[in-house]
Amino acid sequence: MSSVSIDMSGEIKKAAATTNATNVASAKRMKEFKQFDIVSDYSDHYFASLNLGFFGKKKDCFTNANSGVLKKIMQEWKILKNSLPETIYVRAYEERMDLLRAVIVGAAGTPYDDGLFFFDFAFPPDYPNSPPKAYYHSHGYHLNPNLYGDGKVCLSLLNTWNGEKEARWNPCKSTILQVLVSLQGLVLNEKPYYNEPGRRHSQNKKLSKRYNSMMFLLSCRTMLALLRKPPRSFEGFVHEHFCTRANFILQAFKANTVCSAAFGHHQDNVSHFFFEGSVKLHQKTKLYLELENAFTKNTASVTKLAFTDDTKNEALVLHTSNNEGLYQSKQIWGLIGLVLSIVCLPLLFSVFLELVG
């Protein structure tokens, strides 16, 4: 038993060293990824067919150098290039100046920590008199009162929510940068449960914690969707981010022991979620293993540590013990094969000699 433990310890150390080396290389490449850049491929942009005239011709306001709209968009580009916060990345499009794509990295201390949240924007033909249109890449998950499963973004600054007049879009002052910072700080925040107007004065900390726990799990599911199909022009970013942050995400998952389930019974006129008890252990384990496998396939070299929590994760313990049992079984059969070959070979050789003689 001790020899097996020593072997396991050695494997963990090797995996950890590999992970560290991978993380260093990924972190270096992450720094080389520009926060603002102009790219060409907008084919998967949600608003790719918007703002087009007959036969797909671009509207004059987005192509005419003397257009006030175009000049305003160029100003926005300049602001984004010089003033983006560290955890927001933006891509503009060479052939479609009316489109933008942004990703916000979930902040530490929130249920969205280390998640990637993608938004597509389209400037309208009368910009800045009207705010930009926004679409959230939800992958079907409603992980915030302001971000719907159908991609709708509810934000006063976008005039998609009835907020105070001062919080709504102001053609003279508002910018796309303000929209991004608002999404990061006001929407993807530490206690999103209270984003819902009816809950803002609630003191129900228990429900807030449960909501955070569920949103973290939905954020993890979003990670899996992004790894399967990253948005264009961000493929390398998604790959390197999850290479660098894989172990931190898995550790956070294991720390997320108080989990509640949201089973999708959402109605716009009722409530965002009905709470139906704790997430079943096998479901939590399954999601953890899916994440671990996805990160491994993503060449993150995830260090495989036993996943147990205070409630004793029987499913994963069984998974681990089955693997160890299979390994020990192979060793035993290998030893039996060696013994049989030593005993039987001389006998077979003597029989062969008799037959030849």
Q: Over the chain, what HEC string results? A: CHHHHHHHHHHHHHHHHHHHHHHHHHHHHHHHCCCEEEECCCCCCCCCCCCECHHHCECHHHCCCCCHHHHHHHHHHHHHHHHCCCCEEEEEECCCCCEEEEEEECCCCCCCCCCEEEEEEECCCCCCCCCCEEEECCCCCCCECCECCCCCECCHHHCCCCCCHHHCCCCCCCCHHHHHHHHHHHHCCCCHHHHCHHHCCCCCHHHHHHHHHHHHHHHHHHHHHHHHCCCCCCHHHHHHHHHHHHHHHHHHHHHCCCCEEECCCCECCCECCCEEEECCHHHHHHHHHHHHHHHHHCCCCCCCCCCCCCCCCHHHHHHHHHHHHHHHHHHHHHHHHHHHHHHHHHHHHHHHHHHHC
The active-site residue out of 61, 154, 220, 259 is 154
Residue 243 a catalytic site member: no
How close are the terminal C-alpha atoms of the chain, in Å? Answer: 51
Q: Report CA dihedral (139, 145, 151, 154) to the nearest 10 degrees.
A: -160
Of the candidates 264, 321, 255, which has an alpha carbon nearest to the alpha carbon of residue 288? 255
Bridge pairing between strands 88-93 and 99-105: antiparallel
Active site residues: 154
